[in-house]
């Protein structure tokens, strides 16, 4: 087991990873709010923390990864109202699309994927504990957290408490004791078609308390790593941390890890800005392996620019690895002359999960394997690729039948015509027949699903 270090947003330091129990490492990564199809930027935390789990497991840790789904939120009510649909129905549909889209990335699922609507009881209990301790107060069916009762508030985001804006606008402003306070429970309002009973009346939980309660229920307090996009550091994660510390007297998480944003034309990719690329469309165009490789090429803490050129470069890199794999001896270790690249790969990941340096080592291995005059086995390459979730690059299926190639050709034609509905239909038909399309060095390839 190597010495592993991570950067902690709260302390602003890279420090040794010291889990509470190496056999039971807990990771909670904030997932999407399901009011629309997810964009490719939403996939970055999914990839980062799925890979992190794989790496820690490789190093001998036992890991439980939790990735929540926010299915109670103002954005869902608003989107459902505009679409003339029940909010629960819209959230369920978009959550289903999210699972389908992220399944196609090829990294598997988190160990648990809790929905906020399934944890109303624990949410209410946590709010009640805050009210009973004086850290929260009820007003006309709403419940608010008293921010100034927690002296450490602001330590995660390092913001001046007097300059903080909870992002709640004018909602509840006349009910708050202090503009800095934030909602834990919101009374039912006209136009909202779902609500739950509570000691304070019919209503629904606020966004921040949902994650505090779900994380505690599934991982306990003081779990090891809380992850998510850096845009969540304030107010979401700051408030999560505050609620749990105030209610339980212990920190929610030991380490806070935040991934950088995906950028398009130098601004964060966002539905509200309108500069998004749907994850499903990107996967249709480039494939899951290229997307994973593209994300791995940027350090998780840094923003990463998205462009067609970068994705095409990732497709070519996927082809390089797949082509090299065809010339290797299955199940054998590499000769000592290139084995040092494997050690450099895992050393890079142990150093604050530096995937760009790890990829450089991996491609150094591929380069030297291609040049080697002695037989080279694929075991080291498979080991490295498996940690990144790219082990499928060394899996080759038998020749697909003509019917499958016909479907793949028609799907390619539909994609070029930007007929995404027909392309999706043909993709699903291919999957039902047991095949998936992957981008290879010589064009599309069919492999067993």
Q: How far is 252 from 267, CA to CA, in rounded Å?
A: 31
Q: In this predicted model, what pLDDT tens digit does every residue of 225-266 receive, in sequence order?
A: 999 999 999 999 999 999 999 999 999 999 999 999 999 866
**Total of domains in the chain:** 2
The answer to whether residue 363 is domain-embedded is no
The pLDDT score that the predictor gives to residue 397 is 45
The answer as to whether 202 is a domain residue is yes
Spatial contact of 183 and 172, defined as CB atoms under 8 Å apart: yes
Q: Is the distance from CB of 289 to CB of 388 less than 8 angstroms? A: no
DSSP category for residue 227: E
Domain hosting 409: range is 397-449
Check whether 207 has a pLDDT greater than 80. Answer: yes
Q: Which is higher by pLDDT, 162 or 362?
A: 362
pLDDT tens-digit map of 334-383: 999 999 999 999 999 999 999 999 999 999 999 999 999 899 999 999 99
CA 298 and chain centroid, separation: 15
Residue 266: predicted pLDDT: 61
Q: Are residues 85 and 231 in the same domain?
A: yes
Q: 281 lies in a domain? A: no
- Radius of gyration of the chain measured on its C-alpha atoms: 24
Residue 373 resides in a domain: no
- Calpha distance 164→154 (Å, rounded): 9
Gap between the Cα atoms of 401 and 396, Å rounded: 15
Condensed to tens digits (0 to 9), the pLDDT of residues 110-137 reads 999 999 999 999 999 999 999 999 999 9
The CATH number that applies at residue 20 is 3.40.50.620
Q: The tokens 């492999």 sit on which residue?
A: 447
Which of 197, 232, 259 represents a domain boundary (last residue)? 259
Reply yes or no on whether the pLDDT at 444 is more than 70: no
Q: Report if residue 387 sits inside a domain.
A: no
| Same domain flag for 402 and 254 | no
In a domain, 12, yes or no: yes
Q: Is residue 354 part of a domain?
A: no
Share of the chain above pLDDT 90, in %: 78
Beta bridge partners, 275, equal none
Would 264 be classed as within a structural domain? no
Domain boundary among 229, 244, 259: 259
């Amino acid at each position: 087991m190597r010495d592993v270090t991570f950067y902690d947003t709260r302390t602003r330091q890279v420090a040794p990873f010291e889990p509470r129990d190496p056999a039971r490492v807990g990771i909670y990564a904030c997932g999407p709010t399901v009011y629309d199809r997810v964009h490719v930027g939403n996939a970055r935390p999914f990839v980062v923390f799925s890979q992190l789990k794989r790496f820690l497991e490789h190093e001998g840790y036992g890991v439980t990864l939790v990735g929540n789904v926010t299915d109670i939120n103002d954005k869902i009510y608003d989107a459902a109202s505009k679409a003339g649909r029940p909010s629960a129905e819209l959230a369920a549909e978009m959550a289903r699309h999210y699972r389908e889209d992220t399944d196609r990335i090829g990294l598997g699922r988190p160990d648990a994927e809790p929905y906020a609507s399934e944890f109303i009881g624990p949410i209410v209990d946590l709010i009640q504990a805050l009210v009973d301790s004086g850290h929260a107060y009820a007003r006309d069916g709403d419940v608010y957290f008293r921010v100034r009762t927690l002296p450490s508030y602001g330590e995660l985001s390092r913001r001046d408490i007097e300059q903080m804006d909870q992002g709640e606008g004018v909602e509840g402003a006349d009910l708050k004791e202090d503009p800095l306070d934030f909602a834990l429970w919101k009374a039912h309002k006209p136009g909202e078609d779902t609500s739950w009973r509570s000691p304070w009346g019919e209503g629904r939980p606020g966004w921040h308390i949902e994650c505090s309660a779900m994380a505690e229920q599934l991982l306990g307090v003081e779990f090891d790593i809380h992850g998510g996009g850096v845009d969540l550091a304030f107010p979401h994660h700051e408030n999560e941390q505050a609620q749990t510390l105030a209610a339980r007297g212990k920190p929610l998480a030991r380490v806070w890890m935040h991934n950088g944003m995906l950028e398009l034309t130098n601004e964060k990719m966002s539905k509200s800005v309108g500069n998004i690329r749907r994850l499903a469309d990107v996967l249709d165009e480039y494939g899951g392996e290229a997307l994973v490789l593209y994300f791995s090429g940027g350090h998780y803490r840094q923003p990463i620019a998205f462009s067609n050129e970068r994705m095409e470069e990732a497709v070519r890199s996927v082809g390089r690895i797949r082509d090299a794999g065809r010339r290797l001896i299955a199940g054998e270790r590499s000769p000592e002359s290139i084995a040092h690249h494997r050690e450099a790969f895992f050393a890079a990941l142990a150093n604050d999960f530096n995937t760009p340096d790890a990829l450089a080592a991996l491609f150094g291995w591929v380069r030297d394997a291609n040049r080697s005059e002695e037989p080279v086995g694929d075991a080291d390459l498979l080991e490295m690729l498996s940690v990144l979730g790219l082990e499928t690059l060394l899996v080759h299926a038998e020749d697909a039948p003509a019917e499958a190639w016909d479907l793949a050709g028609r799907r390619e034609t539909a994609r070029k015509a930007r007929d995404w509905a027909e392309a999706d239909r043909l993709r699903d038909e291919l999957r039902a027949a047991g095949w998936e399309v992957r981008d290879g060095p010589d064009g599309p390839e069919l492999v067993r699903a």
